[in-house]
Amino acid sequence: MAAAQSLRGSKSSLDLQNSVAAQHDFTYLRTSEQVRSFVDRGYLVKIPNGTGYALKRMAHPYARPEVALFLSRLGPQYQAACGETLVVTSLTRPTTRQPRNASSRSVHPTGMAMDLRRSNKRSCRGWMEGVLLSLERAGVLEATYERNPPHFHVALFPNQYAEYAERKVAAGGENSDLAYRVQRGDSLWSIARRHGVDVAILRSANDLTSSQIYAGQLLTVPMGK
């Protein structure tokens, strides 16, 4: 279930997203009435504001239950790492309510996708990109950086993500490794401080013999989830 891991988007990424939607037997909802029907039947749940994340005003603040789980886990991590609130700008969008620049193959109408506002802070952008790339490698989502407006489109794979989250809990709580791409101006010390990790632990986790790092380098950051 691998696709190109660049956050640039591609036909293969869209193919994968739609393939997962088909595997789940998801319906592409056409109207607001269908969305409300799916909420009433429990297929979609209302997503409230939560710790570390907030919804921008939207017509359909609903999604698959696994999306709610994802945001409840990601929000506190993002807030701890970045010192700001993660803004969710879109969730379920029926096909008749899609914006003009949306792909005709968007999985937003299935309730498995979300849009996350891209931060103006370089460190937060790097943190988020590292997390999304790490979760892509785990095979639980596909993410794309979109520029108009700047945001990350995230298509969550519900069954795969639920199993992933269960494994994390069963493995001893919520400890996990985060992938972080080094930004220009970063130092090992600043990255360790930002994520609440001891510099020596960060160096050991990446088999570094010194504190020298370079922009674009991908580091493993041991952290709690």
Which pLDDT tens digit goes with each residue over 174-190? 555 677 778 888 898 88
pLDDT attached to residue 12 = 92
- pLDDT band of residue 79 (cuts 50, 70, 90) is confident
Identify the pLDDT of residue 163. Answer: 92
Among 32-41, 159-168, 201-210, the minimum mean pLDDT is found in 201-210
- Read off the pLDDT of each residue in 141-170 and give the average, rounded to a whole number: 91
Where do the domains of the chain lie, and which CATH numbers do they carry? 11-165 (3.30.1380), 176-224 (3.10.350.10)
What's residue 45's pLDDT? Answer: 93
In three-state secondary structure terms, 94 is: coil
Residue that has been written with the tokens 């996708």 in this structure: 113
**Which residues are bridge partners to 106 per DSSP?**
none
Decide if 41 contacts 172 (C-beta within 8 A). Answer: no
Q: Does 77 have pLDDT greater than 70?
A: yes
Q: pLDDT-derived band of residue 3, with 50, 70 and 90 as boundaries?
A: very low
The model's pLDDT over 54-64, given as tens digits with 9 standing for 90+, comes to 999 899 999 99
- Which one-letter amino acid corresponds to residue 45? V
pLDDT at residue 146 above 80?
Answer: yes
Q: Give me the pLDDT at residue 208, please.
A: 85
The mean pLDDT of 113-137, rounded to a whole number, is 90
pTM for the complete prediction?
0.77
Pairing of β 53-55 and β 86-90: parallel
pLDDT at 48 over 80: yes
Between 168 and 88, the higher pLDDT residue? 88
**Block residue for tokens 């943190």:** 127
| Average pLDDT value for residue range 149-158 | 95
Residue 153, φ and ψ in degrees, nearest 5: -85, 125
66 compared with 223, residue with greater pLDDT: 66
DSSP 96: G
Q: What is the mean pLDDT of the chain?
A: 87
